[in-house]
């Protein structure tokens, strides 16, 4: 505020309207000066586009991950379908084998009742008995269970009975019993093939029964389901193999030469 003494002083020094001008000037000089407001910050177009690009990259990575998961699930479903087809085929073959065994049994029972002693029947009985004895010895060795295997034990019992009937010149009965023994040998062989894929890796899923596959490309066989695992062999494109199990994108297969190993899931397909 400008005091009265100051006004009187200005009035004495300045004439007329000059007093008012002087007062205005003095008042303006006493007002505090407001600091200037900072200018609002602006986001550059580059920053906006950069954020949009990052968001698109995140969305693309998520989509790619989902696509890979879907491909793996589709591949697993295809393998399961092949497994079911193999089960159906095995059941059909088993049914045919059982039906044939029943037909053979009926025929041989008829022969047994007729007490056929013809030279042809004798030769057939002797040949089949020798064949069955060789087969049961091989099964005993391959299974590793020896006489403890139920199919081996039953086959040997039937073959013993068959030999006794042969000695009695009941060749029809001998042939019938031999065929029954061969049926047990066949069952033991099927069981042995199904057990070739014993699980030895965590997360490994066995196929039951093994799946018929073929190689879609020349492929290396690995000892374990990993690309850095020991190499155990190679197989050419088109080779027929049996698939025993799968684990983390790998399939355990075996070839006709007996070589077994792991191959990438993408390397095999249905025959």
| Statement to judge: residues 211 and 151 lie in one domain | no
Out of 168, 195, 222, a domain closes at 195
Instruction: Tell me the chain's radius of gyration from C-alpha atoms.
Output: 47
Based on the fold, state whether residues 164 and 126 are members of the same structural domain: yes
Q: What is the pLDDT of residue 186?
A: 81
- Residue-by-residue DSSP string for 78-133: HHHHHHHHHHHHHHHHHHHHHHHHHHHHHHHHHHHHHT---HHHHHHHHHHHHHHH
Same domain (yes/no): 100, 157:
yes
What total of structural domains would you count in the chain? 2
Residue 8 lies in a domain: no
Could you tell me if 116 and 225 lie in one domain?
no
CATH number at residue 236: 2.30.30.40
**Domain for residue 13, yes or no?**
no
Same domain, 99 and 167: yes
Judge if 216 and 147 occupy the same domain: no
In a domain, 259, yes or no: yes
Q: Do residues 140 and 167 both lie within one domain?
A: yes
- Tell me the pLDDT of the chain (271 aa) as tens digits: 444 454 454 444 445 445 555 555 555 555 555 555 555 555 577 787 888 888 888 888 888 888 888 888 888 888 888 888 888 888 888 888 887 777 677 556 645 544 555 555 788 888 899 988 888 887 777 666 566 678 888 889 889 988 988 888 888 888 888 888 888 888 777 766 655 545 567 778 877 667 889 999 999 999 999 999 999 999 999 998 888 888 889 999 988 777 889 999 999 988 8
Q: Verify that 161 and 211 share a domain, yes or no.
A: no
pLDDT value, residue 111: 54
* Structural domain boundaries, residue 240: 198-270
Per-residue pLDDT at 65: 80
pLDDT at 26: 56
Q: Are residues 82 and 190 in the same domain?
A: yes
Same domain, 119 and 176: yes
Domain boundary among the residues 195, 226, 243 is at: 195
For helices 119-143 and 150-167, give the axis angle rounded to 10 degrees. 160
Quickly list H helices, 144-170.
Answer: 150-167
- Together in a domain, 156 and 263: no
**End of a domain among 195, 210, 231?**
195
What is the rounded distance in angstroms from the CA atom of residue 246 to the CA atom of residue 77? 12
Strand partners, 219: 235
């Amino acid at each position: 505020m400008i005091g009265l003494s100051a006004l009187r002083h200005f009035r004495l020094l300045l004439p007329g309207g000059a007093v008012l001008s002087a007062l205005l000037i003095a008042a303006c000089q006493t007002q505090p000066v407001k600091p200037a407001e900072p200018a609002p910050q602006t986001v550059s177009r580059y920053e906006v586009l950069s954020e949009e690009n990052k968001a698109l990259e995140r969305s693309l990575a998520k989509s790619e991950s989902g696509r890979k998961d879907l491909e793996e699930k589709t591949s697993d479903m295809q393998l399961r379908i092949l497994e079911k087809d193999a089960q159906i085929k095995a059941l059909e073959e088993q049914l045919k084998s059982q039906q044939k065994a029943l037909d053979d049994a009926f025929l041989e029972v008829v022969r047994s009742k007729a007490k056929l002693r013809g030279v042809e029947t004798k030769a057939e009985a002797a040949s089949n008995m020798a064949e069955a004895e060789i087969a049961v010895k091989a099964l005993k060795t391959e299974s590793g269970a020896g006489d403890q295997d139920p199919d081996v034990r039953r086959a040997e019992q039937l073959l013993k009975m068959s030999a006794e009937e042969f000695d009695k010149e009941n060749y029809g009965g001998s042939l019938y019993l031999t065929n029954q023994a061969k049926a047990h040998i066949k069952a033991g062989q099927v069981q042995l093939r199904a057990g070739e894929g014993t699980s030895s890796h965590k997360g490994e899923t066995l196929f039951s029964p093994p799946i018929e596959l073929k190689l879609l490309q020349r492929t290396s066989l690995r000892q374990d389901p990993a690309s850095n695992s020991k190499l155990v062999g190679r197989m050419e494109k088109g080779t027929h193999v049996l698939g025993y199990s799968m684990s983390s994108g790998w399939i355990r297969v075996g070839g006709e030469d007996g070589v077994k190993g792991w191959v990438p899931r993408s390397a095999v397909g249905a025959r």
